[in-house]
Chain A
């Protein structure tokens, strides 16, 4: 019965075949043929996967070749100027001119009027009612169409109870109610799964805000006590705003960026 390292023992005692090394060498030399055959013959999904893998391999190869070539040739180092550096003869000047100040003021006024805020996603596509709601036909002969089913992801608070079903106009299905969001801290580049406290503002319509509908670009408030942030005064920060960056109804999860 072959026990423990019987393969290595056999190789130690009897060595390899006489042509073992040659066969290994030849097999390796034939590998490029197999690769090209596969690349030509594979079709469909397998072909795509193979092509992708091969592409990344080729990128690596090209990088190593380039690195080798760089060693061989000598290049002139073009002097990299760090950002924000100014030539010596401009050092003592005041940079912002009068005109610039005026124009920046005008721009800010315009921004306030238009309602664009300093958020990661300043402009979002407006969601029409037809997109967000779906008509739910009720009644014995299914003719009454005053109920609406929310098709987007929404947040209802804790202790939420529905209105009596007969009078409920907006139906928010349980499957589309989310309590947690994946929030990314923009500077730390780390993502946390934090509970949602509430929906602050939905850019498409205030009605959506009151219903708690979460679409791309919505500002939500999240519970950041997990992160352990502390204010200057020593108080613990437990709620912060975050903006949703994906389409939650397509992905099944809410991804957001923390607004710091």
Chain B
């Protein structure tokens, strides 16, 4: 199956003209475009060499992806190799790919030559002309490959539409003369929708469908009809069937038309069977007689019967079926599947791999409880019915009716109503005599309504619908109260902040603002909430020691309208914040001055100024090496 997915992933092969356009426009977009004649000659040369090399690389990449994506006929399964040979002609295919390969090498050579020449280009004009010649040469090489590219594109499109046939899985292969009913058979057992028409060679290529049997997936391959002439005279269509017969290890269903409606007699069909018999070696074979609705095996002439008898004598099972009336189709499928399965198991047993599997298999059967057999029970009447074997009357479906009447058909849902004929198609009104008809649909509807109402009353009385009032204890009540308070406070804060955000006024930086979190504020807020703040002298939040010793004492505690002390309105200056005592402060000041000194001496604007006025002062970089002047560089 991996091979098939590869067929779908082949890169699109553009036409020669498009190929050239793609590569040249890519070169134009991905390489620098501006060059002037006053640039250094090496720069001009590099510019043009880059363009030539880039074009060569792009051509090379695209052509080599084409070469690697297309399947090599030697690397894929021989069934596909043979099929591709039949469809596309192996020689032509290989030649086309060979031409592409040659073009690849030619383009590489052109690029090499012109890059070599470009090294000696001494003016912009000359380099430009050489680049133009190189690109033109590559384009000409591609133009000559137009035919190969076109052929490969067609091959790719056809390959992507091939049916995905797995050569290794269980397969049923259907073959026979044209028009015997192979495609009808596959349409019946699988979901493949193969075209069925009265003319010969309706099926022009292989079709695959899938069916189930014994919980396994089975592939069914439908082939185009084969005529009885020697191998050399066969055309492409028949050769596909032959390729499938030759390479797929499948169960063969040789379909014959005993009514001779296909245009060939039974003798001819048997002759064809004999001529392609070598292809059936080592494969389970089944001869299927189709179109038995027209004529049955018993009704055949004795000569024809003897031919068919010949098959039975050769140990080839013969089965009858009719794809039109669908009798025997399932039996054929079951029989073919069983034969193939047993054949495959036999082959597997003969191979060495079996022991590994057999060692691991163990079928466990339940131990019988007693000696009583308990077979399946089928009632007497059913057995009698089965023996009668009445033909199943196919019920006429709406679809059949539609097909029959074509344009005159209309969907009539009322025809199956269980009413007398004159009432069936009557239109039911919605209201009558001022009353709703829907209310009177049921004759007992009033009684039912009364009963319902009574029940409802009972329920209400018993209190099913009353909601239990939860009894809260004190704790819960307290929690509820507090929660309410919190909610209220939150809302107030939100509103206040919204008001506080007055539009446009300049805002003081955070450090410059009044100290919001102060002890007095803490006290007032907690008292609002009901906490006793009277004897919190030794608490951590109260200021026990003054923070800065050098602050002058406050003359009077300035209180605002709310009664809060504003001793915290001044911010600590930056040279005092973080310093614990006077000595440290002096040291910090000294360090600061020292660091600044060097900067000031060199006239630097700040710490980050690293400008060097004179990079190589002459007194340091010239002169003889003296005692020590030069080692201070």
A residues with a Cβ closer than 8 A to B are 1-6, 9, 12, 45-46, 49, 134, 151, 173, 175-176, 247, 249-253
Contacts and interface: CB of A to CB of B under 8 A. Distances in A.
Given A45-B28, A134-B122, A151-B120, A252 B161 contact: no
Contact of B207 (A4, A176, A253): A4
24 contacts: A1-B163, A1-B164, A2-B161, A3-B161, A3-B208, A4-B204, A4-B206, A4-B207, A5-B204, A9-B195, A45-B28, A46-B25, A134-B122, A151-B122, A175-B116, A176-B120, A249-B117, A249-B120, A250-B129, A251-B130, A252-B113, A252-B117, A252-B133, A253-B133
Contact of A250 (B116, B130, B206, B208): B130
Given A9-B195, A45-B28, A251-B133, A173 B120 contact: yes
B195 A252 contact: no
Contacts of B114: 252
B126 interface: yes
Contacts of B162: 3-4
Interface string B176-210: 00000000000000001101000000001111100
B119 interface: yes
A106 B141 CA distance: 52
A249 B163 CA distance: 56
Contacts of B130: 250-252
Nearest to A44: B28
Given A250-B129, A252-B113, A252-B114, A175 B119 contact: yes
Contact of A3 (B119, B120, B129, B207): B207
A236 B122 CA distance: 43
Contacts of B129: 247, 250-251
Given A45-B28, A252-B130, A4 B163 contact: yes
B226 interface: no
A249 B192 CA distance: 66
Interface in B131-155: 133-134
Contact of B117 (A9, A12, A134, A176): A176
A103 to B, nearest CB: 43
Interface residues of B, number: 28
A253 B130 CA distance: 10
A6 B163 CA distance: 11
Interface in B192-235: 192-193, 195, 204-208
Contacts of A5: 161, 204
A3 B205 CA distance: 9
Contacts of B113: 252
Given A4-B205, A251-B130, 17 more contacts: A1-B163, A1-B208, A3-B207, A3-B208, A4-B162, A4-B163, A4-B207, A45-B25, A46-B25, A134-B122, A173-B120, A176-B120, A249-B117, A249-B120, A250-B129, A250-B133, A252-B130
Contacts of B119: 175
Nearest to B208: A3
Interface in B214-272: none
A54 to B, nearest CB: 15
B133 A4 contact: no
Given A3-B208, A4-B207, A175-B120, A250 B126 contact: yes
A4 B116 CA distance: 51
A12 B197 CA distance: 12
B34 to A, nearest CB: 13
Contacts of A175: 116-117, 119-120
The 10 closest A-B pairs by CB, nearest first: A250-B129, A175-B116, A3-B163, A251-B133, A4-B205, A252-B133, A252-B117, A3-B207, A252-B114, A250-B126
